[in-house]
Amino acid sequence: MAEQQSLPLGFVRGEPVIEKPEDLYIPPDALEVILDTFSGPMDLLLYLIRKQKLDIVDMPILTITRQYVEYVEMMKELKLELAADYLVMAAILAEIKSRLLLPKPPQEEDEEDDPRAELVRRLKEYEAIREGAEHIDSQPQVGRDILLSEVATDAREHVTTPPPEVTIEDLTLAFSRVLQQVELNAHHHIQREQLSTRQRMSQVIELLSEKKYVAFSQLFKRTEGRAGAVVSFLAILELVKESMIELSQVEPMSDIRISLRNRQQDESVTA
Amino acid sequence: MNQLQLKQLIEAALFAHPQPLSAEQLHQLLLSEGEASLTMVKGLLKELQTDYQERGIELVKVASGYRFQTRAELGQRLASLWQEKPQKYSQALLETLALIVYRQPITRGEIEQIRGVSVSSNIIKTLQERNWIKVVGHKEVPGRPQLYASTKEFLDDFNLSDLSELPDIDTLDEDDERTAETAINEREQ
Amino acid sequence: MNQLQLKQLIEAALFAHPQPLSAEQLHQLLLSEGEASLTMVKGLLKELQTDYQERGIELVKVASGYRFQTRAELGQRLASLWQEKPQKYSQALLETLALIVYRQPITRGEIEQIRGVSVSSNIIKTLQERNWIKVVGHKEVPGRPQLYASTKEFLDDFNLSDLSELPDIDTLDEDDERTAETAINEREQ
């Protein structure tokens, strides 16, 4: 370990720096922190440039490359699990360095052709993103800086689930579906009757459940007019046909009595 | 921290904490040693209760401490924030209802015979609870089964003044039969 | 309901509802037809914001609506109510988030290119679990990589009502560079 610790941690203007960078906290037993401190090769590169108080555009590629490689070498020496991304960057730097060292025709001395241009562009974009990360981190954050109010409420106890809604269309659709099934099982026959007749049948049955019998004439109301009379008459006929009611006459020409079928018989038996 | 800031801190703590906090907890957890006395905390809690007297929420003391809660008289109105969408009735229920409406008075057995399946008691119960159907009597056949019919509430709920206002689909004429057949064919495929 | 009662109702709703509520939601969910106009609701929200100016909590507008929250300057003191310290996010996570927020829609490959390092699946997973980022589509290049963007929840959680409220990082002109340098110097101290 002692030998490894004497490795230069970096170079400033060609001078090896044996001490760890002062602004980096590196516990003696945990040099891994170096890797944790930098979020990647771009971060390390940016650090090396800023360390010399230089602008990205003026990046001295030779110095930076040497320093970068020293860092990477040190990490390797320490057998830190080095992300391959650091080696990729080392290769990029080496390539730029070699291109810079190659002599080139004077006309082509053009800013566009600066082999550093691409890296400078990337560094600038990375720097902008670092700034963005700082902006985000300095925003008040729910759970860290601000807490949301949690106020008790009894409102949920008042929540009622409304009953399902049914439309007339739903109903007629359901009925026509039943009719289709009936048609399919041809042995059933649904008779053609006016709905008002069926309703009147219910009313007659209900009336007869309460009273033992009613007079035939009681089932006809003057206010309902002719149509009403027809409906009542049809309902009575249908009920007779379905053997649900019985008609009886005590004397000839007297009013006809209507009663539920069987009940009267039952009563006459017990009487 | 001055008095106002302390009050704000206690207020914020009561709003942020999911469980009620007692004066002692507030004093112990929130304030540094010697910052304020327990009596002072209690005084600030009283002040807060007064501050919220005219607001939509109130600071109340329950068994385990103080908590903010919505005013009781607002509960009913606030419930609409959690109101659920109504569910849908099953086909079986709709068909049963349709048969009772269109073929009343009708027994359960008759409904079952037409539909070809038994009618669950739940369906009858649901329809009765909604006051859409009622028992109007008994059919005088063995077992004296109940006869179901539609109610006035049914007419009201469907905005009808009379059953005759329902579309008449009694008569399956030529056209309808063809449609029915097509539908059945489609269903069988 | 009179004006004061309406204000109390809106206030209680904002306190009781776990998620922020927009003026439109309050108007639609809480009020019956014709009870108050949307303009009136907005007016009452403004009044409430003023009412709470001097309190420990404030009414703020974030991306998905209005919510009551504790004052940011109290956050540190309130932390003592909880045993666990809030999670601190790594630089790598923040940079990834910043790229998605500032350069959206963006692919994972593009993020890796700018950061010079591969993006760990954990970071993407964490960001997705927090509902801060989402996949909005695919880039029509070989492999059709997913395109990430920030969400409404990101804005809500970072106390923003709109992305434009975040400081710009686009133009690195002279002035900006000086600011950037200051920031880095501060970091180094």
Residue pointed to by tokens 């005219």: B54
Both tokens of A217, joined, read 């004439």
pLDDT at A250: 75
The pLDDT tens digits of the residues spanning A78-121 come to: 656 666 788 888 888 988 888 888 776 665 555 556 778 888 88
Torsion of CA A216, A218, A219, A224, to 10 degrees: 140
- Position C163 scores a pLDDT of 93
> Between residues A224 and B4, which one has the greater pLDDT?
B4
C-alpha A76/C-alpha A87 separation (Å) is 10
* CA–CA distance, C56 with C52 (Å, rounded to integer): 8
pLDDT given for residue B110 in this prediction: 92
Reply yes or no on whether the pLDDT at C131 is more than 60. Answer: yes
CB < 8 Å to B140, chain A: 243-244, 260-263
Q: Which long-range contacts (CB under 8 A, 24 or more apart) does C35-44 make?
A: C35/C1, C35/C6, C36/C6, C40/C6, C41/C10, C44/C3, C44/C6, C44/C7, C44/C10
User: Within the 126-185 window of chain C, which residues sit less than 8 Å (CB to CB) from chain A?
Assistant: 156-160, 166-167, 169-170, 172, 177, 179-181, 183-184
Measured CA angle at A94 (ends A89, A95), to 5 deg: 100
How confident is the model at residue B133, as a pLDDT? 95
Which of B68-77, B169-178, B179-188 reaches the highest mean pLDDT?
B68-77
**Predicted-complex ipTM score:** 0.71
Task: Please report how the helices A61-77 and A84-101 are oriented relative to each other, as an axis angle in degrees rounded to 10.
Answer: 150
The boundaries of every CATH 1.10.10.580 domain in chain A are 197-260
- Nearest-by-Cβ selection for C12 from B4, B15, B57: B57
Q: What pLDDT sits at residue A31?
A: 55
Give the span between the Cα atoms of A7 and C30, in whole angstroms: 70
Compute φ and ψ for C181, nearest 5 degrees: -65, -45
User: Comparing B91-100, B119-128, B160-169, C88-97, which segment has the lowest mean pLDDT?
Assistant: B160-169
pLDDT mean over A199-219: 84
**Paired sense of beta strands C65-70 and C57-62, if any:** antiparallel
Nearest CA in chain B to C74: B9
Asked whether residue A263 carries a pLDDT value surpassing 60, the answer given is no
Q: What pLDDT, on a 0 to 100 scale, did the predictor assign at position A2? A: 37
Q: Is the pLDDT of residue A59 over 50?
A: yes
The pair of structure tokens assigned to B75 is: 């509960």
Q: In this complex, which of C30, C57, C80 lies closest to B77 when CB atoms are compared?
A: C30
Dist CA A66 CA A76 (whole Å): 15
pLDDT at C19 over 80: yes
pLDDT at A16 over 60: no
Whether residue C136 has pLDDT greater than 50: yes
Average pLDDT, integer, range A193-203: 79
Q: Is B102 on the interface with A (CB under 8 A)?
A: yes
Of the listed ranges A9-18, B116-125, B144-153, C164-173, the one predicted with least confidence: A9-18
Q: What is the mean pLDDT of chain C?
A: 88
Whole-number pLDDT of residue A80 = 62
Whether the predicted pLDDT of C133 surpasses 70 = yes
Q: How far is CA C144 from CA A206, C108, C141, C149, in A?
A: 72, 11, 5, 16
For chain C, list the contacting chains (3+ Cβ pairs, <8 Å): A, B
Q: Which two tokens stand for residue C138?
A: 């695919």
Percent of chain B having pLDDT more than 90? 57
pLDDT band at A261 (very low <50, low <70, confident <90, very high): confident
Which residues of chain B does A160 touch, with a Cβ-Cβ cutoff of 8 Å? 79
Q: What is the mean pLDDT of chain A?
A: 75
> Is-contact C12 A153, C-beta < 8 A?
yes
Nearest-by-Cβ selection for B104 from A166, A176, A202: A202
Q: Count residue pairs from A and C with Cβ separation < 8 A.
A: 139
Mean per-residue pLDDT over chain B, rounded:
86
Domains of chain C and any CATH numbers: 1-73 (1.10.10.10), 89-182 (1.10.10.10)
Q: In this structure, are residues B59 and B68 in contact, taking their beta carbons and an 8 Å threshold?
A: yes
Partner residue opposite B137 with nearest CB, options A165, A183, A206? A206
Answer for the pair B145, B107: CB distance below 8 angstroms, yes or no. Answer: yes
B73: distance to nearest CA of chain A, Å?
10
pLDDT for position A168: 84
Which pLDDT value is given to residue C184? Answer: 44
Rounded Cα distance between A57 and A117, Å, is 8
Residues in chain C within 8 Å Cβ distance of B16: 70, 78, 81
Query: Using CA atoms, how far apart are residues A141 and C159, in angstroms rounded to an integer?
Result: 6
Instruction: State how far the alpha carbon of A143 is from the alpha carbons of A49, A253, C72, C78, C88, in Å.
Output: 36, 93, 10, 10, 11
Q: Which residue among C13, C55, C68 sits closest to B8, beta carbon to beta carbon?
A: C55
Cα torsion angle, C61, C67, C71, C77, sign? negative
Asked whether residue A10 carries a pLDDT value surpassing 60, the answer given is no
* Residue B55 confidence (pLDDT) above 60: yes
Could you give the residue ranges of the DSSP H alpha helices within chain A?
2-5, 32-37, 41-51, 61-77, 84-101, 117-138, 168-184, 195-210, 225-241, 263-270
With a cut of 50, say whether residue A251 has pLDDT above it.
Answer: yes
Tell me, what's the pLDDT at B176?
A: 42
- Judge whether A181 and B115 are in contact, CB under 8 Å: yes
Q: Does B111 touch chain A (CB under 8 A)?
A: no
B-C contacts at Cβ under 8 angstroms? 78
Hey, is the C-beta of B112 within 8 angstroms of any chain A C-beta? Answer: no
DSSP lists the bridge partners of residue A17 as A10
- One-letter amino acid at A77 equals E
pLDDT recorded at residue A112: 57
Q: What is the pLDDT of residue C112?
A: 93
Residue C20 has pLDDT above 90, yes or no: yes
Query: What counts of helices (H) and strands (E) characterise chain B?
Result: 9, 5
Q: Does A75 touch chain C (CB under 8 A)?
A: no
Cis amide bond preceding C105, omega within 30:
yes
Would you state the pLDDT for residue A38?
Answer: 80
Give the domain A197-260 fold.
Arc Repressor Mutant, subunit A (1.10.10)
> What integer is the mean pLDDT of B173-185?
42
Please write the tens of the pLDDT for every residue from C74-85: 988 898 888 788
Q: Which chain B residue has its CA at the smallest distance from A182's CA? A: B114
Q: Give residue C100's pLDDT.
A: 97
Residue A142 at interface with chain B, using a CB cutoff of 8 Å = no
**CA gap B87, C68 in Å, rounded:** 33
Chains linked to B by 3 or more Cβ pairs within 8 Å: A, C
Write out the DSSP string of B27-77.
IIIIS-TTSS-HHHHHHHHHHHHHHTTTSSEEEEEETTEEEEEE-GGGHHH
Chains meeting A at 3+ CB pairs closer than 8 A? B, C
The predicted pLDDT at position C176 comes to: 45
Q: Give me the pLDDT at residue B189, please.
A: 41
> Residue type at A5?
Q
- Tokens 């409406």 locate to B101
* Contact at CB, A168 and B170, closer than 8 angstroms: no
The predicted pLDDT at position A3 comes to: 37
Interface membership of B63 toward A (CB under 8 Å) = no
From B16, B57, B74, residue closest to C78, measured CB to CB: B16
A36 pLDDT band, cuts 50/70/90, is low
Binning pLDDT at 50, 70 and 90, where does residue C162 land? very high
Q: Which of A19-28, B28-37, B82-91, C137-146 has the highest mean pLDDT?
A: C137-146
What's residue B151's pLDDT?
A: 93
Residues facing residue A128 across a β-bridge: none
Residue A60 pLDDT class (50, 70, 90 cuts): confident
CA A29 to CA B110: how far, in whole Å? 88
Q: Does C81 sit within 8 Å of B30, measured CB to CB?
A: yes
